[in-house]
Structure 1
Amino acid sequence: MQLVPVAARPARAPTPPLPLPEVLSATHRDLLLALDQLTRLLRDIAEQGATPELRAIAHSLTRFLDETGRAHHAEEERAVFPALLASSDADLVQHVRRLQQDHGWLEQDWLELGPQLDAVAYGIGGVDIPALAAAAEVYCTLYREHIALEESVVYPEARRLGFLSEGGHRRA
């Protein structure tokens, strides 16, 4: 994979605002909570240091984002996006391609963040917390925009076309 520095990422059109939490898919709700927790965690570590409690939170967050977020993207790429990319709706196809690009960037960002969060979780020193917090902010912002586009534009269309259930799960 060719890594693209964040500064080299092209400017894109803004995404719609996030829908209300009660209408989000369960996975997206959980991911948004994890992103908020990640931001709080890094702020707390900057203020208090990596206490045992904060290290435990870092461990839990790392596992969740590594497993749930990445599996969620793989499932979308496998089961939802191909049918939408075959659509005759050019705007929908463009949105799905943007989401695919996001998946690549989120993966790239995670490959930088994940090992650093692991180091915090296991009490390994040498992590530059301000730099980690700045990188996490880029990751969290992109992830929130990604979820907003999925939930407000792409998922409703996938439901309308019968590719996704109301709960955000792929239909058989």
Structure 2
Amino acid sequence: MGIPADIDPAALLDGFDVLDECHRQSLFMLGRLAALITRLGSIGADSEARSMAADIVRHFSTTVRQHHADEERYVFPKLASLGNADVTQAVLRLQCDHDWLEENWMELSPQLDAVACGLNWFDLDTLREAAQVFIALSHDHIALEESFIYPEAKARLQGRERSNMGRDMAARRAALRRKAAAPGTR
């Protein structure tokens, strides 16, 4: 199977490059979320706030969901099969985190979507509280992955396995981009 034209070959070198890049983007977007809450409190839902909210919604509704699916597919099963109690416990915690993050996002995203659409029905105090929980959990989750789980997985997934992982991840993302760009889709 050849590489589709819309896939960056550099992204295919190592699946962990894709996962690490998502963490970098997510940390940036978490900072933008905190800045958005501050902006809404001081300036309100101006055009910049609407743009920020739209970017945040897009990232956490698509990129992060793909990222979590990739971890559940490639990283966690390999580590859970090792029989190491500490690693298994960390994997179980991260899987629970994925559920909690999704639940928090389902609470947070409609309010952010309202901001992005220029609607004013959101409650700033509720939005602020939900954002603080989401930001804290996201930071803790990323820290555990980067300090413990990813190093464990990188030590066990080698060469071809990692490049196959990267190729598959990039191809699925490209297919989702094509689907999103197709006429009649939002």
Question: For this pair of structures, how many residues does the alignment match?
Answer: 148
Distance 1:139 1:62 in 2: 13
The residue that corresponds to 2:101 in the other structure is 106
Q: Are 1:133 and 2:128 counterparts?
A: yes
Per-residue CA deviation, residues 63-85 of structure 1 (Å, 9 max, x unaligned), is: 11111111100111112111111
1:151-162 to structure 2, matched below 5 A, reads 151-162=146-157
Equivalent position of 1:15 in the other structure:
none
Distance 1:145 1:45 in 2: 25
User: Residue in 2 aligned with 1:70?
Assistant: 65
Q: 2:173: which partner in 1?
A: none
Greater Rg over alpha carbons, structure: 2
> What TM-score do you get using the length of structure 1 for normalisation?
0.80
Counterpart contact for 1:56–1:121, Cα < 8 Å: yes
Verify: 1:122 aligned to 2:111, yes or no.
Answer: no
Distance between the aligned counterparts of 2:66 and 2:159, measured in 1?
A: 17
Q: Who is 2:143 aligned against?
A: 148
Map 1:61-100 onto structure 2 (within 5 A).
61-100=56-95
Amino acid at match of 2:134: Y
Query: Which amino acid letter does the alignment assign opposite residue 143 of structure 1?
Result: S
Match of 1:58 among 53, 71, 76: 53
Using the alignment, how far apart are the partners of 1:118 and 1:171 within structure 2?
31
What TM-score, normalized by structure 2, do the two folds share? 0.74
Q: 2:26 aligns with which of 24, 31, 36?
A: 31
CA RMSD of aligned residues (A): 2.2
CA displacement at 1:163 relative to structure 2: 6.0
Q: Which portions of structure 1, spanning 4 or more consecutive aligned residues, are displaced by more than 4 angstroms? A: none
Helix, strand or coil at the partner of 1:25: helix
Percent identity between matched residues is 44
Matched, 1:48 2:35: no
Residues 152 and 170 of structure 1: CA distance in aligned 2, closer, same or farther (over 3 Å): farther
